[in-house]
Amino acid sequence: MKARWILIPVLGVSATVAARMRRLRGVAPELSNPAAALLPSMGPIPLRVARLLPAPPVALGAEGGVDVRREDVPGGQDVYVYTPAVPNGAALLWIHGGGTIIGSPEIDHRRCIRIARDTGAVVVSARYRLAPEHPFPAGHDDCYAALRWLHRVAPERGIDPARIGVGGASAGGGLTAGVVQRAVDEALPVAFQLLVYPMLDDRTTTRPADHRGALVWTRRSNAFAWDAYLGAGHAEREVPAYAAPARRADLSGLPPAWIGVGELDLFHDEDVDYARRLEAARVPVELLVEPGMYHAADLAAARAASMRAFLRSAISSTESHLAARD
């Protein structure tokens, strides 16, 4: 009898693991990562656990041909400033991901070094307050304060205000889109927006489920994060401007965009739709939909050839749109 009671939980765990591993179906072979299938959906307990994990250390000074410094933004939070050995007068404000509920600029340290080194642009990586303790507009306001600060210090640092872009991944991509919309409305120049699998539309939480969103960032995670950011019932009511960028009716006048998303990403449909609407509004847009890619696969399988190409495309577009014009 004792053996039977031991066997039942073992079988239960095995079945759960097997079910989660089935999530890898359809994933490009080089992106297959069992850890991605085993990640739990976000909720109160996973959120507390995730926040217990220490942020990776960031060593200030020279690293990889880039000078790294930390500075405080008046009216906002602190930022990391990545200055390449030979800056070319451009700059990119970078906004980290994490569903607006977790994360910090430290997690994107390597990415920011790479962008600064490969594009020649100064990269400013912003910290922002997180939901649910700080719902919208707290995080948005922190990121916008960082953009205003970047414009303010640009002349003294050899940065051309006409060559400043904004970029981010996941929730950072959504914050990027909202910050850019506000900048256009307030006549603050932005030359380019880099949207890496951006979290744009809170209404995705109410749409019928399909095969997307099985890995890393699930429908349950998405619903939990949007509720934390905007409050329960957000999808059935109007939300403030810039909170859910896909809700903006008029996209004309926005700066050129690069949008990259995986075929299996929960954000696939909202990102493709946003790209098409930008195009319809005569905004130059480059859309990259990567086959067999799930959310944040460029981090989970960073060495895969397709993910290296995905990053190169984003960096190349950034470099091109922030280049000096004759």
Q: What is the 3-state secondary structure (H, E, C) of the chain?
A: CHHHHHHHHHHHHHHHHHHHHHHHCCCCHHHCCHHHHHCCCCCHHHHHHHHHCCCCCCCCEEECCEEEEEEECCCCCEEEEEEECCCCCCEEEEECCCCCCCCCHHHHHHHHHHHHHHHCCEEEEECCCCCCCCCCCHHHHHHHHHHHHHHHHCHHHCCCHHHEEEEEECHHHHHHHHHHHHHHHCCCCCCEEEEECCCCCHHHHHCCCCCCCCCCCCHHHHHHHHHHHHCCCHHHCCCCCCCCHHHCCCCCCCCCEEEEEECCCCCHHHHHHHHHHHHHCCCCEEEEEECCCCCCHHHHCCCCHHHHHHHHHHHHHHHHHCCCCC
Give residue 11's pLDDT: 42
Model confidence pLDDT, tens digit, residues 270-284 = 999 999 999 999 999
The rounded mean pLDDT for the chain is: 93
103: left (phi over 0), alpha (psi -120 to 50) or beta: left
Confidence class of residue 23 from pLDDT cuts 50, 70 and 90?
A: low
Q: Which domains does the chain have, with CATH numbers?
A: 83-321 (3.40.50.1820)
- If one compares 39 and 258, the residue with the highest pLDDT of the two is 258
Model confidence pLDDT, tens digit, residues 191-217 = 999 999 999 999 998 877 678 999 999
Work out whether strand 61-63 and strand 66-72 pair parallel, antiparallel, or are unpaired. antiparallel
Model confidence pLDDT, tens digit, residues 276-312 = 999 999 999 999 999 999 999 999 999 999 999 999 9
Confidence class of residue 121 from pLDDT cuts 50, 70 and 90?
A: very high
Q: Report, as residue numbers or ranges, the catalytic residues.
A: 170, 265, 295
Give residue 2's pLDDT: 52
pTM given for the model: 0.92
- 276: Cα separation from own chain's centroid: 20
Give residue 8's pLDDT: 46
Confidence class of residue 325 from pLDDT cuts 50, 70 and 90?
A: confident
